[in-house]
Chain A
Amino acid sequence: MIFQKAKGIYIEGRKGMCKINPLKEYLSPKYVYIPLLQRACNLESQVKVGDEVKIGQVVATNQQQFNIRVHASVSGKITAIKKVWHSSGKMVDAIEIENDFKNQLAETIKEEKNVDSLTREQLINKMELAGLTGLGGAGFPTHIKYKTKAKINSVIINAVECEPYLTCDYHFIISYPEKLLKGATYLMRAAEANEVVIAYKIYNKQIREALQPFLPKYPNVKLFPVKNVYPAGWEKYIVEQITKKTYTGLPAEAGAIVNNSATAIAYADIVENNIPLIARPITITGEGITKPSTFFVPIGTKVSELVEMSGGYIKGLDPIKYHYIAGGPMTGKAIFIDDLVVNDTLGAVIVKPVIEGLYPECLGCGKCADVCPVYLTPTEIKKAMERKDIKLLGDLNSNKCIECGLCSYICPSHIEITEAVVKGKTMLRKGGQ
């Protein structure tokens, strides 16, 4: 009771509007824009304007950090390097490729003959060459996770998708169930783990039904339903639920590696056909979209085209009264101009109305502290942040905030408390240096 554990809270899913429409493939846009930014790393362009590129050809790299590689997602001509809106909420440089619709493949893309004899090093090397990153939202390079020295017992596939509105993982799994199981098994081999656990939300019976027929062929794969709460898809929550162990830094301490389900599906293609990470699923949804849909698109596709294919904005939409959110509604970023391109971490674009009102002051009810999954006390962090009390910010573990947004969500006075805590976190990081 006193050191109570927050167990997550139920949030209305609002996924129905998008679940009814099946996954659509849209693999040949006229133009794609490959952003020269991944996580916080700037990339160097390896091509010049006027070059011809093939699908899967490396177009940008960053050798200093994590050895990042980004590949062309369509074949055609580089026509420009220009600024586009990125899901991080900033404008970044991007390589514009004009599609020639010939779908020429790079020489590296070929079927892998001896899949079963690949060693751990070869499997990890494939991740690195393919530029595989976590497709869940954080976008951490996958090969770094697998280069751990710790003994890994289970590879956990995160198919929870706990944020409301999002359905891209759901649709991706039920469209490619066997690929998921294959990819998950390869990941298990890459970690030399004993088992694969696929965590999904308990009400998503369709995921279980889609995977069930293939399970006998993959004896190491287990399904693990988690509760319908937020943030059930948080890495630490899943690891604690499955392994019953906790950790402070990386899941490897608890003998686990967590990957998003879309990452596993992409990895199946990487291993079997050497197709690098060039496409991902994305959900276009929200009350402001006529026919919310999920797409499988090349990285760099303009979101505006996808919105048009979803029937466009609803009639009479006044943009200034709507949020245009890159990512989930709890952790995403509001984008001012609807000129966004799909990058590796963008799982959804949500257009939903802004609700305005007059809000009361903080009454000190403590609900924000009660729901915090990392047991912080947001109100005190906010006060310490306003006083710029760096020592207190440290004592209050402000750096542990996972920015899940629950404190703002639950606040009965509609206070932007998550924003304040994130500011405190940044202040601590800067002040600590």
Chain B
Amino acid sequence: MARFAGGKAPFLRKYDEKDYGTQVIMKDFIIALVPVILFAWYKNGIQVYLDGNINFLEMLYPLFFILMGAIISTTMEGIFFYVTDKEHRGAKEISQKLSLSFAAIPGLILALLLPLYTPIWVLIFAAFVATIIGKMIFGGFGHNIFNPALLGYAVVGFTLMGVVNAAGGVFNASEVLIDSYAGATPLGVLASGKEIDYNILVKPYGTLSNFFIGTIPGALGETSALAILFGGLYLVIRKVIKWYTPVIYVGTVFVLSWMIGALSGETGLWFPTYSILTGGVMFAAVFMATEPVTTPTNVIGKVFFALFLGVLTVLFRFVGNLPEGVGTSLIFLNIFAIPIDKFTAVIRTKRFSKPGGLYFGILTVLVILLAVYTLVKAGSMYTAFQIPFIGWVI
């Protein structure tokens, strides 16, 4: 007789097979970022170098900047592990923890969210906020409530935007050439002007295809819809993300933007197209609205999350005075990912019988109310258009 190992069923795990597991999912995320990184490098480095505006080393800077994001956040998490766990300070133990913490990804995304002319110390500060405050304080990978990269970006956006702008233009000659009012992004123009006019919004940057390809001013990674779509396609094929989350999110922004345009007398499809191609909507749709940790887990939750996100993005963008709106709405909704997950899980099991139907009704009504509020509010802001009596209610 012999004593065998204990354990619980099932005794077969897909995890033990090759090419499967959370590590592979995270690796896929990095691979999906490659086209985005390459485009950022091409646009901010290679092309400018070919134009003869910068030297060879300066050409490598965009790549260096993005990689710095990954390196800085990994180092910070390593230091965090060293400081907080006094008993496991060996190099092997820390590298083991780092391999299960996936620090490089928030760092990479963070660097892609920032404009190229961001000073390195701002990047370091943002990485600190992202990895230490946004992730490690919450308990590390899998426990964070906010998307770490987004939190870092938001804190920099709210506090250090002046510094970033003041440092602008050094390594970014092509952007300065295209953009006469130095650094103002297309959405900045919309937020300051409050006018929906093709000649003001799109003309200065060429045509809408420039927006799709990404040769417009903006943060490193978020301008090229094309590169992002390649990454998204890869993620969908690898079954890392569900295709409908980005589609519903982008679709909601598209439809609501079209309605706002229509309300102010601009019915052309160029405006909603412009709306989804600017301000990081595409980047958020593929890489952040699908980020597994900070968004709902189940199918119905993902659908509602994408719907809410779309409505809130439009609300913050057109009603609030925030040019991008995407980051704010994502951070705001990250808080609600857990309750959305809980309620939609009940919907999933109970369908429309009690209490699933009640939750479904509440969520649907909330989405519709928010959408209507956005439309009415934005419609009245961008035109003289007024729905009778509605002004008293809102």
Give the interface of A toward B (CB within 8 A).
1-4, 11-12, 164, 304, 319-325, 327, 329-339, 350-352, 354-355, 358-366, 369-370, 375-377, 379-380, 383, 392, 395-397, 400, 403, 405-406, 408-414, 416, 418-419
Contacts and interface: CB of A to CB of B under 8 A. Distances in A.
Interface in B286-333: 292-293, 295-300, 302-303
Interface string B265-299: 00000000000000000000000000011011111
Interface of B: 1-17, 20-25, 96, 100, 102, 140-143, 240, 244, 292-293, 295-300, 302-303, 341-342, 345-346, 348-351, 355-356
A366 B12 contact: no
A324 B4 contact: yes
B348 A377 contact: yes
A377 B3 contact: no
B177 to A, nearest CB: 43
B11 A364 contact: no
Given A1-B244, A361-B141, A409 B25 contact: no
A354 B9 contact: no
Contacts of B16: 355
Contacts of B143: 361
Q: Which 3 A-B pairs have the closest CB atoms?
A: A361-B142, A405-B10, A377-B345
Contacts of A338: 1-2, 4
A115 B143 CA distance: 66
Contacts of B302: 366
A329 B10 contact: yes
13 contacts: A321-B5, A332-B9, A334-B8, A338-B2, A360-B100, A360-B102, A364-B142, A377-B298, A397-B349, A400-B349, A408-B13, A409-B13, A418-B8
A408 B299 contact: no
Nearest to B241: A365
A310 to B, nearest CB: 15
B292 A365 contact: yes
B293 A395 contact: no
Contacts of B298: 366, 369, 377, 379-380
A11 B355 CA distance: 35
Contacts of A400: 349
A352 B8 CA distance: 14
Contacts of A376: 349
Contacts of A2: 299-300, 303
Given A319-B2, A414-B21, A396 B349 contact: yes
A203 to B, nearest CB: 18
Given A362-B142, A363-B141, A392-B342, A418 B10 contact: yes
Contacts of A418: 8-10
Contacts of A1: 244, 299
A358 B8 contact: no
Contacts of B14: 409-412
A366 B299 contact: yes
A259 to B, nearest CB: 24
A192 B297 CA distance: 47
Nearest to B143: A361
Contacts of A413: 15, 21-22, 142
Contacts of B292: 363-366
B37 to A, nearest CB: 22
Contacts of A335: 4
